[in-house]
Amino acid sequence: MRIVVLAGGLSTERDVSISSGILVASALREKGHEVVLLDVFTGYEQNICDIDALFKQNYSFTDKANVGETVSDLSEVRENRLDKSGRFIGTNVIEICSEADITFLALHGGEGENGQLQATLDLLGIKYTGTGYLGSALAMNKGLTKGVFVQNKINTPAGEIFKSLEDAKSWSIFPCVVKPCSGGSSVGIAKAENEEEYILAVKDAFIYENEIVVEQFVKGREFSVGILGGKALPPIEIIPKSGFYDYAAKYQAGATDEICPADIDEQTDKKLRESAVAAYNSLHLDSYARVDFLVDENGEPFCLEANTLPGMTPTSLLPQEAAVEGLNYADLCEKIIEISLAKYKTEE
């Protein structure tokens, strides 16, 4: 097959996306596919674009990825773009994707995950992996996600949405968790034990977005459940050594203990899997996703959010869960493509 892997972009998770993209492209090449790895923002900027040659030579825009302890510096990315435009989709990206059998979205956050790119590709008749525009938009916005969970009676922490610091001052339940509404990889997320910490956390969250979610803190164990083709994978438990699963804990090797299959009883396993599938269906997700949970001291799962384009980095959760089911990394990449292509056959 001819496959384009789209990575990069302009979100705070750019480095994570590039790391995912490099690994996905390499795995698919090992399986015998012709794979072009593109940065969705910079595209392919050379004067002559021989698309057939790009696939035959397995072109990659980079072979280096470094997910540090802090988010990407996007100003340099914008400055280095040759045409200096602010368009999200770079030069020749659409043309190259149009010649592929499918585009594997290795993007995280921003326009690559919030439904805008998915809607664009739909209109252009370009096949891609993962959830469509509606589910992507619902899952990306944590406020909308929470509303859907409440409406569908999926247990989730109590919370509110705020659009200004003044409005946010009305919150009075501590400890709590403050999150940018549409961010990912725990960027801008903080736990506040008291009002002073809360105000600082709110100010920090508003640096990233103009809308935030504040949730009552649930004391308990943290889990994630991958969904592949509508079926729940074995839950994985996440135990950050720092005590909080932030950006550094997610992507620095050794910063977090991840146990899969999780050391839980059969009943808790069943609750997590059923709740994950319910969340997946309620948000109109398809192909694959990952749903995150906290399980309190009474064994009750609280659904936090769903991720429509789960990370595929060396420390990512979905590949670990799939491995327990006998799917190695390369097989998982092919399985995602197989499931995603099947969606288009049902639409024909």
Residue range 62-74, pLDDT digits in tens: 998 776 555 667 8
Q: How far apart are CA 338 and CA 82, in angstroms?
A: 36
Residues 6 and 87 grouped into a single domain: yes
Task: Give pLDDT tens digits for 158-208.
Answer: 999 999 999 999 999 999 999 888 765 456 789 999 999 999 999 999 988
Q: Confidence class of residue 248 from pLDDT cuts 50, 70 and 90?
A: very low
End residue of a domain, out of 108, 128, 148: 128
φ/ψ (deg, to 5) at 293: -140, 155
Residues 199 and 226 in one domain: no
**Does 141 map to a domain?**
no
Kindly give the interhelix angle for 133-140 and 116-124, rounded to the nearest 10 degrees.
Answer: 170
Same domain for 170 and 276, yes or no, is no
Of the candidates 128, 148, 171, which is a domain's last residue? 128
**Which residue in 230, 345, 214, 228 sits closest to 278, CA to CA?**
230
Residue 120 binned pLDDT confidence (cut-offs 50, 70, 90): very high
Domain shared by 195 and 171, yes or no: yes
Let me know whether 103 and 176 are in one domain.
no
Is residue 147 a part of any domain in this protein? Answer: no
Q: Which of 76, 31, 84, 80 is nearest to 58 (CA)?
A: 31
Containing structural domain, residue 191: 158-216
Same domain, 17 and 105: yes
The stretch 95-107 carries a mean pLDDT of 98
Q: Is there a domain that residue 137 lies in?
A: no
What is the pTM (predicted TM-score) of this model? 0.88
Q: How far apart are CA 314 and CA 121, in angstroms?
A: 28
With cut-offs at 50, 70 and 90, classify the pLDDT of residue 245.
very low
Together in a domain, 116 and 206: no
175 and 235 both lie in a single domain: no
97 and 38 co-located in one domain: yes
Residue 151 domain-assigned (yes or no): no
Residues 88 and 7 in one domain: yes
Q: Is residue 7 part of a domain?
A: yes
Asked if residue 211 belongs to a domain, the reply is yes
Contacts of residue 78, Cβ cutoff 8 Å, sequence gap at least 6 = 10, 86
Q: Is residue 233 part of a domain?
A: yes
Q: What percent of the chain lies above the pLDDT cut of 70?
A: 92
Residue 47: predicted pLDDT: 86
What was the pLDDT predicted at 255?
65
Specify the CATH number for the domain of residue 203: 3.30.1490.20
Of 81, 110, 128, which residue constitutes the final position of a domain?
128
CATH of the domain at 318: 3.30.470.20
Residues 318, 265 share a domain: yes
Domain CATH code at residue 121: 3.40.50.20
User: Shortest CA distance to 56 belongs to which of 78, 26, 35, 37?
Assistant: 35
Whether residue 178 contacts residue 192, with contact meaning beta carbons closer than 8 Å, is answered with yes
- In a domain, residue 145? The reply is no
**Same domain flag for 320 and 203:** no
Q: What is the pLDDT of residues 135-172, one digit of tens each?
A: 999 999 988 999 999 999 999 999 999 999 999 999 99
Average pLDDT value for the chain:
91
Q: How many domains is the chain built from?
A: 3
* pLDDT for the residue 254: 59
